[in-house]
């Protein structure tokens, strides 16, 4: 962790200089770096786990809820999964230099539109140390330098992981400042990072609405928000109810502290009386705190369910809590999702191709699922190896931010003496 004594500005200057070397590195060199990082994660797992244990024992981490502690925790299996993700990224096509368009203009000029790296990407993230490796691997493969600002909760873990990457870069004769860390403790550091005009080409914050609001007030560099996931599962009147039970339980319970977990269950009135007692019973048995509207509470059977407040429909719980509502039509369900959703991931369970088509067409979200859990919105699951985050914006990227989303393009135009009259 070689950036502790440097200012944010100095770190960004070093990253900008390093990016010039990485931008022209051959694919085989970048892939060799990634393979070495994967091996390094395996070989140095004991050191990484020791650093993570120290983070988990820290005073601040002791106050974290179960879901956030889970996000902070590393295990041998999670380290191996990180290494696997790095290898998947190494196996993917290199986007740098990819030809997007090629044509001859009326002037006779030969014009190619090709992918190039963005330059320097900065990522601000919270308690998940695996993000350090995901981001580093994606930016190395896409030819970008990266400045990482993790949470103070995970300072030791992030430092141990970044050290593996930086040392590997140096071993392959690339600048170690292609991947740099800045401290995660002070709001002033965040402001400084967000105002590095001319040094940072794109800032990606991974976090809740508080982080988003903090950056909106100060950022002068381009920002792409990997923002909150207020995700819904809608059970239509013709749904396979057994399928729906499994989908909502997976979407809510499998890992509740992540942005693609479901926070709302919406059920058509025609099946609420049959579906909700069983489904809510399952969820309650799994430890989920349930709140709902009046009709959901009436249909809940013996499952305990409290009264939902207006705020509940707009809350990303990131915990074992779920808001439940009953609607009279597909159109009402779509309206509810579009009004309360955050544009992340939404799902419908239905046997009707027409209902599925209407939902996927009308719902405004980065990912829309038919008969599947929202938990699949993930760069690894989408075959990207990993992701830097999930963008809920529409420019310049939407959904998982992978290799191609970390590039821009340039026009390369070749002539034989043409001048314009």
pLDDT digits over 112-146, tens only?
A: 999 999 999 999 998 789 999 999 999 999 999 99
- pTM, two decimals, is 0.88
- Cis peptide upstream of residue 340 (ω within 30 degrees of 0): no
Q: Backbone phi, then psi, for 170, in 5-degree steps?
A: -60, -40
Ordered by start, the domain boundaries in the chain are: 8-226+388-414, 231-376
What single DSSP character describes residue 217? Answer: T
pLDDT (0 to 100) of residue 335 = 98
- The values of phi and psi at residue 180, to 5°, are -135, 150
Phi, psi at residue 400, to the nearest 5°? Answer: -60, 135
Residue 279 CA, chain-centre distance (Å), reads: 28
Structural tokens at position 356? 């599925």
| CATH class assigned to 8-226+388-414 | alpha beta
pLDDT above 80 for 281: yes
Question: What's residue 101's pLDDT?
Answer: 98
Residue 11 burial (C-beta neighbours within 10 Å; 0-12, 13-18, 19+): buried
pLDDT, tens digit, for every residue of 52-101? 999 999 887 888 878 788 889 999 999 999 999 999 999 999 999 999 99
Strands (E) located in 125-178: 145-149
C-alpha gyration radius of the chain: 23
Using the structure block, give the residue that is written with the tokens 């990303």. 316
Mind listing the pLDDT tens digit for each residue in 4-40?
A: 468 999 999 999 999 999 999 999 999 999 999 999 9
pLDDT band at 185 (very low <50, low <70, confident <90, very high): low
- Looking at CATH, the fold of the domain delimited by 231-376 is given as Aldehyde Dehydrogenase; Chain A, domain 2 (3.40.309)
Spatial CB neighbours of 212, under 8 Å, sequence gap ≥ 6: 205, 225, 227, 228
CB atoms inside a 10 Å sphere around CB 69? 16
Q: Nearest to residue 82, comparing CAs of 115, 121, 55, 49? A: 49
Q: Express each pLDDT in 33-55 by its tens digit.
A: 999 999 999 999 999 999 999 99
What does residue 39 show for φ and ψ, rounded to 5 degrees? -65, -40
């Amino acid at each position: 962790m070689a950036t502790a004594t440097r200012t944010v500005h100095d770190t960004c200057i070093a990253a900008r200089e390093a990016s010039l070397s990485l931008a022209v590195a051959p694919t085989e060199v970048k892939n060799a770096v990634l393979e070495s990082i994967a091996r390094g994660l395996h070989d140095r797992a004991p050191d990484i786990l020791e650093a993570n244990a120290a983070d988990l024992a820290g005073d601040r981490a002791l106050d974290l809820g179960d879901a956030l502690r889970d996000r902070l925790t590393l295990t041998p299996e999670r380290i191996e999964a990180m290494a696997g993700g790095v290898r998947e990224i190494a196996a993917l096509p290199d986007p740098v230099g990819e030809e997007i368009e090629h044509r001859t203009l009326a002037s006779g000029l030969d014009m190619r539109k090709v992918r190039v790296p963005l330059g320097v990407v900065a990522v601000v993230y919270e308690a998940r140390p695996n993000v350090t490796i995901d981001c580093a691997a994606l930016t190395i493969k896409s030819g970008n330098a990266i400045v990482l600002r993790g949470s103070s909760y995970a300072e030791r873990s992030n430092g141990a992981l970044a050290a593996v990457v930086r040392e590997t870069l140096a071993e392959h004769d690339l600048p170690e400042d292609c991947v740099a860390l800045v401290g995660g403790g002070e709001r002033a550091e965040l402001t400084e990072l967000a105002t590095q005009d001319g040094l940072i080409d794109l800032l990606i914050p991974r976090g809740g609405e508080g982080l988003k609001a903090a950056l909106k007030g100060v950022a002068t560099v381009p920002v792409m928000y990997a923002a909150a996931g207020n995700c819904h599962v809608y059970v239509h009147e013709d749904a396979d109810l057994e399928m729906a039970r499994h989908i909502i339980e997976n979407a809510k319970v499998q890992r509740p502290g992540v942005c693609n977990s479901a926070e709302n269950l919406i059920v058509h009135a025609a099946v609420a009386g049959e579906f909700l007692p069983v489904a809510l019973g399952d969820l309650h048995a799994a430890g989920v705190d349930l709140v709902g509207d009046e009709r959901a509470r009436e249909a809940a059977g013996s499952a305990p369910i409290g009264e939902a407040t207006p705020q509940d429909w707009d809350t990303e719980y990131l915990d074992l809590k779920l808001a439940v509502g009953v609607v009279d039509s597909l159109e009402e369900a779509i309206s509810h999702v579009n009004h309360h959703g955050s544009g992340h991931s939404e799902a419908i369970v239905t046997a009707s191709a027409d209902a599925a088509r209407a939902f996927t067409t009308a719902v405004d979200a980065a990912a829309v699922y038919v008969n599947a859990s929202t938990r699949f919105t993930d760069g690894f699951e989408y075959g990207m190896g990993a992701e830097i985050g999930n963008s809920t914006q529409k420019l310049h990227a939407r959904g998982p931010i992978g290799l191609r989303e970390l590039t821009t393009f340039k026009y390369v135009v070749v002539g034989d003496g043409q001048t314009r009259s």
